[in-house]
Amino acid sequence: MKQLKIGRYTLDNNLVLAPMAGITDSVFRRLCAKLGAGYTVGEMLSAQTQLWDSQKSQTRFVNQADPEPRSVQLLGVEPEQLVKAAVLQVEQGAQIIDLNLGCPAKKVCNIAAGSALLAYPDRVTKIFDALVTSLDVPVTVKIRTGTDAEHINAIEIAKIAEQSGISAISIHGRTRADKFNGLAEYDTIKHVKQAVTIPVIANGDISTPEQAQFVLKYTQADGIMIGRAALGNPWIFQQVRYYLETGTHLEKPCFNHIKAILLEHLDGLYALYGELQGLRIARKHTGWYCQHLNEGEKLRRAFNQLDNPAAQQALIEHFFANLV
C-alpha cells in the first residue's frame, strides 16, 4: 500500500477522508480512521475568529482526540485573518492547516472565498506565502479544476502552491460552476501531477474500489480523497485498501459490526453536540446508513420520529436484532 507524506508526516496509507461541512466532525473522522482512512481532514472553519463563540464553530475546532496528524481546514480571503485563525488552531493542537479553495457553495463564493478564490491567483499567492511563512506546521490546500470550463487553472494554482511551500494539494475534478453536477474529470488532475513535485491527492466520484484503483493509475496521484461515498459507509476505506492490496473484494461488514459502528457514531454525536442537537444530527447520519441496509427506509422513517437518544438507540438495537 502506497504511503502518503505531507510535510513531516508519513501517513499509514494514501486514502483520505474529504472535508465536508456539517458532516466530517471529530466523531466521523475517528470512525473513518478506525475503518481504514490514512488521513482525515476536518470540516471547514471560518477564519473570522469573531464567529468562533458559537457552539457550531467550536465543534469544528481541532480535537485532541482526533487521529494524528490532526488537520483543520480554514475558509477565508484575507491573509492576515487566515494567519491569525491558523495560529490559534495550531496552539490548540492542529498539526496541519488546510485551506479551502474548493467549496462551490453560493454563500461562500459570494464573498470570494472557497473556489471563487481560484479566479484571483495574486491573492492566492499572498495567502499561501503568509501562511507558510507564519506557521511551523505543514500547510495544504484543496481546490477545484477552475472556476468554469473556460477557466481551468488548476496547474497555475498548483505551481503557485509549490513555489510558496505548500506541502500537498487536493483537487476535486470539477469546476466551481459544476458544483456536484455531471461527472468528475481526471485529466486536469493528471496534468497537475505532471506539473508539480508536491503530493497531489485526487478527489471526485471515487465511490468503489475499482474507481479508486482507476483514478490512482490514470492520474498517477499520490493519494485519493473520498467524500460522499463514505456517508453511511465508513467501511469504504477498508474496502478500497483491501482491493488495492489484493485485487480482490473484502466481504461486506456483518450486521453486528454495522450495528456496533452505528451505535458508536450515535454515542459520539450525543457527546459532541449535546442530546438535543446530537439526536437531530443523528437522524441525518442514520439516514445515510439506511441507504445501505435492507429495510433501511423503514428504519429511517421510524428513527426520524424519535425525540430522545435512548429511544433512538433502542430502535437500532431492535432493528438489527430482527435482521439477525
Q: Name the residues annotated as catalytic.
A: 103
How far apart CA 137 and CA 83 sit, in angstroms, is 12
288: which 3 cell numbers? Answer: 445515510
Strand ranges, E, within the chain: 5-6, 9-10, 15-17, 39-40, 44-46, 71-75, 96-101, 139-144, 146-148, 151-152, 168-172, 200-203, 223-226
SS3 category, 261:
helix
Overall size of the chain counted in residues: 324
139: which 3 cell numbers? Answer: 500547510
Q: What is the DSSP string of 264-299?
A: HHHHHHHHHH-HHHHHHHHHHHHHHHHTTSTTHHHH
Cell 480571503 belongs to 77
CA 103 to mean position of chain CA atoms: 12
How far apart CA 302 and CA 131 sit, in angstroms, is 48
DSSP type of residue 305: T
Burial class (CB in 10 A: 0-12, 13-18, 19+), 116: buried
Burial annotation 21-37 (CB, 10 A radius, 16+ → b, else e): eebbbbbbbbbbbebbb
How far apart CA 245 and CA 217 sit, in angstroms, is 14
Cell 470550463 belongs to 149
DSSP type of residue 54: S
